[in-house]
Chain A
Amino acid sequence: MTAGSLERVEAPAASGELDLSVVVPVKERPAPLDQLFDEYAAPLRAAGVRFEFLFVLDPRHADRAAALRGRSDDREPIRVLQLAQPFGEATMLKVGVDAARGRAVLTLPPYPRVEATAIPALLDALTDGTDVAVARRWPRQDGPANRLQSAVFNRLLGRLDRQRLHDIASGVAAMPRSVLRDLPLYGDFARFLPLLAHRAGYRVRELPCPQHAEDAHARIHRPGVYLRRLIDILGVFFVLRFTERPLRFFGLIGGSVALGGGVLLAVLAAQKLGGQGIANRPALLLAVLLVVLGIQAIALGLIGEIIVHLLATRRETYRLVDDDG
């Protein structure tokens, strides 16, 4: 990633191999970063994990770095990556992992989401065959409004995946650095990380982590936010199901629309044969419009298929189990 300029609060000197890089994309609703660091560093320190923190700063929050001054040292480096342009959270994660030096990475939202004491258990899960350990906020402390939203979101997405996950967008997940580096993440798809990881053949496991009290306040968003989220879900739906076979998606839509138009045309033709004039009927316009739209969708799907076919030799269509796994 060359998008951001790199600025270090304090020059960290890597002392040997690090166990963990904590990557925090600072974009939405950031808490004071020094408090966040103190809270999450303590249990890691207690568990004997050698870690570094990487804060990837959105340009809007450039001033947040100041709070971290003086906290970083050689044993527990804090690194700040300042982006010059705003990017999606997934891209910010990629920026972080690109600079990360730990064998494992932990993604954290810029505000406390789960109790920090639950984090070492996530890391432990990585040692027993799990590739991606996702924190599920459980037990939850928040009110019915939040939980309803969360349930709807996870239920919609749950249909996409045979493995039923309860808190896909928790944002707290631990995985080997190579996994995050290789995941096809971009734009706003960070919230679907567990789904994309499972899709890519990684073993994803959910672990219950008590919800943080500060995460429990009611969140009612503007309608635009829900609309964007719905579009994201549609996007991830397409990506997970149809990127290898676009014609099945466009063909189904186009085929049904064109079929509707065809049926209408047939009815009109029957009326014409029955002696009724149809040239002045708006229904004729509608029928032809439907057929045209259907053909357009199918043609688009075909172009997609041709592109997929041309790129097939370059794509990994499967992943093998790691030899040590």
Chain B
Amino acid sequence: MTDSAHPQLSVVVPLYNEEESVPRLIASVGAALEGADWELVLVDDGSTDRTTAVVAGLAGPGSRVRLVRLARNYGQTAAMQAGFDQARGKVIVSMDGDLQNDPGDILRLVAKLDEGYDLVAGYRVRRQDKMISRKVPSWVANRLIRRATGVPIRDNGCSLKAYRREVLERMRLYSDMHRFIPAVAAATAGARIAEVPVTHHARRFGASKYGISRTFKVLADLVTIAAIRSFRDRPLSLFGLAALASTLLGLAFAVASVIATDFRPEKAEALVLPSVSLLWFGLAAYLLLLGLVGEGALREFQDPEEGRPPLARELRP
């Protein structure tokens, strides 16, 4: 086996309690990438079973398999980021460790990258999941994500994706952002994105690590991404627009209170309507101030060393 310090292709797989899947995973990746220059970066996300031991037995010097061990269970996003940080390939492919993705699809994704894309996302055809608990929520979520992020991705839940290294150098995943990688890549790295259909297997081993109760979290993350997108170039506009809307509401109630008390003094609206009006004005002022805080943060916290400008393609005229 060759041990290249700079392989063409790094496959990054976060693992959490996948002791049964790992040997098959390594074997099938090896079979699928026969003849290519690759490495497999397995990130052990604080597994409590024998995952670490199994991988350690198969990794090591001279092997294409590398083990990255997180100090505790940080979750999929941090594990993926750790894998990206350790990956040395020019092209990096991420996938799930539970054998639901088919390594046979990897090279097709990479081929699509070569057509001039920065990120190629897989989307699952003929999903092997339960209808009500998995497919319906994911259909709704994907529609919402498309709307909020402006990135037309069919299947955000599919981990099988290929990236040019330059994309990953321009973004950093945190919280639960692994669900929105294309959106984040588009918003911060300016990535050109394509989709390729991929095979999807049902789980063989272990339990699914998701529950149905993550709607709120996804919703909050979506609002965040939409806000970051709008905030990036025009920091004050988001809060300014909200403040404007609040001002208009305040004005409307002010007018209503004037009409109500001046023209029909027999009615007792003298207190409620002006108070409501004041509330809206107060909110408008608050939002404007908060917008200024954001503007200040944008100025102060821009990282001149880490934050690289978005990708651009040079065209031959």
Instruction: Identify B227's interface contact among A203, A280, A302, CB under 8 A.
Output: A302
Tell me which residues from 115 to 136 in chain A have a Cβ below 8 Å from any Cβ of chain B.
none
Q: Is the interface of B mostly helix, strand, loop or mixed?
A: helix
Bound Cα distance A285, B307 (Å): 46
Q: Is the CB of B220 within 8 A of A247?
A: yes
Is B268 an interface residue when CB atoms closer than 8 A count as contact?
yes
Q: Bound state CA distance, A313 and B84, in angstroms?
A: 14
**With the chains together, A47 CA to B246 CA distance in Å?**
70
Chain B residue nearest in CB terms to A278? B272
Is the pair B71, A320 in contact by a Cβ cutoff of 8 Å?
Answer: yes
Contact A308–B272 (Cβ < 8 Å): no
Q: Are A299 and B279 in contact (CB under 8 A)?
A: no
From known contacts A285-B275, A307-B297, A313-B306, infer whether A321 and B286 are also in contact, taking CB-CB under 8 Å.
no
Residues on A with beta carbons closer than 8 Å to the beta carbon of B294: 303, 306-307
* Residue pair A279, B256 in contact (C-beta under 8 Å): yes
Q: Does B180 contact A (CB under 8 A)?
A: no
Q: Say yes or no: is B59 at the interface (Cβ < 8 Å to chain A).
A: no
Stretch at the interface among A96-104, A165-173, A287-295: A287-295
User: B interface, how many residues as a size bin?
Assistant: 35 or more
Contact between chains at B287 and A299 (CB < 8 Å): yes
Does residue A215 face the partner (Cβ distance < 8 Å to B)? no
In the assembled complex, B175 has its CB within 8 A of some CB on chain A: yes
What's the Cα separation between A280 and B264 when bound, in Å? 13
Contacts of A314 in B (CB 8 A): 303, 306
Query: How far is the CB of B76 from the nearest CB of chain A, in Å?
Result: 11
CB distance from B179 to the nearest CB of A (A): 13
CB pair A313 B275 closer than 8 Å? no
**B242 contacts partner chain A, Cβ-Cβ < 8 Å:** yes
A202 within 8 A of B: yes
A299 to B307, CA, bound (A): 25
CB pair A312–B174 under 8 Å, yes or no, is yes
- B residues contacting A by CB (< 8 A) are 68-72, 74, 77-79, 81-82, 172-176, 216-217, 220-221, 223-224, 227-228, 231, 238-239, 242, 246, 256, 260, 267-269, 271-273, 275-276, 279-280, 282-283, 286-287, 290, 293-294, 297-298, 301-303, 306-307
The residues of A with any CB-CB pair to B shorter than 8 Å are 198, 200-203, 244-245, 247-248, 251-252, 277, 279-282, 284-285, 288-289, 292, 295-296, 299-303, 305-315, 317-321
The 4 A-B residue pairs with the shortest CB-CB distance, nearest first, are A201-B71, A313-B306, A310-B301, A321-B69
